[in-house]
A and B are shown apart, each in its own frame.
Chain A
């Protein structure tokens, strides 16, 4: 299979395979994406995040169906956790999206976090690029169910939808740092339950402290019954329009690219420093010296880096 030809001709197999290659750290995948990088940047990327069971997958299903009415093609990347004990995972987000499986304008890919913290997997940004090249107009990234500090999604998305549900805690939860700071648009899902108004008011009060130009709208929805989806959809579009009109979109993408570059440099340097058996053995021997207090860990780290630079290993 010729991946480049395939993906440019909208072959789903080629896109699927390229994502697998990215997930497996295949250097060939990097070469292909580098070559096709000018084809990226066209898709609008929407992140969907929130606590486990908030209804992210169901909401994604409904929003994607709304977009399909505009005849937009959509990619969905759904991330679920990988077991830190066995390396296995059950990726179950698709269960809420079965109507979309055979829609030729929708591509769904499930990913395990594979040890990556932050709510996404290491290869998620790569998968976004693949679906962008493939030609999706919109790409949804659904994070794992998050707690309070998994905020990687801001680095990956143009617009972040934070999905909340009634009854998760009082207003002190709403003013804590972390996850509540990253929403560009808020949804209070399961709004047919008690406490939805209160949750909305608490989120709005929290947002009143912000003095940024864009004030995130809060919409009550019942995703399962398709209620409030049009309003939420309009609010997401408004945010995307605002980003473009204000010049914030490019600003945000520059910031995200900067973070991505730093991430890649870190990853690459780590790989070169400790990526093979020989180097790990060397480090093990140094670790013995450190444990026996013959040398301190700061000096060791410094000398490893200096050695790499001296060897012109960069």
Chain B
């Protein structure tokens, strides 16, 4: 009953730069995952509604606007209030200063991948840290 890993790739916030999100979406696709791409400028509410209906294993958030300290914990908070956080791995990526990373991890983002991270690192991290069996 093996199934592919399902990943929601979302861009919270107002920046319009989705090259990074598309690169990671493509890399995950080539690693055999099912990637649900949601488009630009999503609110945390939209992201969580999509994650829930798509029943994903991973929520991958790409953000370059600088609003990560507000938006990423908000996604985790909403996932918790919908009772799905226990089953979903939440990761982030984008231009995020090193000093912000511990705080984000503390809020429930499992890992942050900054520019220059080889896509294979992200792929391996996802495969090793899924919260739900396939």
Residues of A that sit less than 8 Å from B by CB: 12-13, 15-17, 19-20, 23-26, 82-83, 86-92, 94-95, 98, 101-102, 107-110, 112, 114
Interface centre among A13, A15, A82, A88 (most CB of B within 10 A): A88
The answer to whether A26 and B38 touch across the interface, beta carbons within 8 angstroms, is: no
* Closest Cβ neighbor of B55 among chain A residues: A16
A83 touches B53 (CB 8 A): no
* Closest-CB distance, B23 to chain A (whole angstroms): 12
CB distance from B88 to the nearest CB of A (A): 11
Q: Is the interface of B mostly helix, strand, loop or mixed?
A: mixed
Asked, given contacts A83-B29, A101-B46, whether A112 binds B84 with beta carbons under 8 Å apart, the answer is: no
Residues of B within 8 A of A (CB): 1-4, 6, 25-26, 28-39, 42-43, 45-46, 49-50, 52-55, 82-84
Q: Are B46 and A98 in contact (CB under 8 A)?
A: yes
Please report the C-alpha to C-alpha distance between residue A110 and residue B84 in the assembled complex, in whole angstroms: 18
Which one, B34, B52, B82, B84, contacts A88 given CB within 8 A?
Answer: B34
> CB < 8 Å: which of A17, A86, A95, A112 contacts B38?
A95
Closest-by-CB residue of B relative to A25 is B1
Complex contact A110–B36 (CB within 8 A)? yes
Instruction: Summarize A's interface: helix, strand, loop or mixed.
Output: mixed
A90 CB to nearest B CB, Å:
5
When C-beta atoms are compared, the residue in chain B nearest to A88 turns out to be B29
> In the bound complex, how far is the Cα of B83 from the Cα of A90, in angstroms?
26
Contact B38 A94 (CB under 8 A): yes
Judge whether B39 and A112 touch: CB under 8 Å. Answer: no
Q: How far apart are A23's CB and chain B's nearest CB, in angstroms?
A: 6
- In Å, the complex CA distance between A95 and B37 comes to 7
A285 to B32, CA, bound (A): 31
Of A26, A98, A112, the contact of B34 (CB 8 Å cutoff): A112
Question: Given A83-B29, A86-B29 in contact, is the A92-B37 Cβ separation under 8 Å?
Answer: yes
Q: A88-B35, A94-B39 are in contact. Are A102 and B54 (CB under 8 A)?
A: no
> What are 17 sample pairs from A and B whose C-beta atoms fall under 8 A apart?
A13-B52, A15-B53, A16-B55, A86-B29, A86-B32, A87-B32, A90-B26, A90-B29, A91-B37, A94-B39, A98-B39, A98-B42, A101-B49, A102-B49, A108-B54, A109-B54, A110-B54
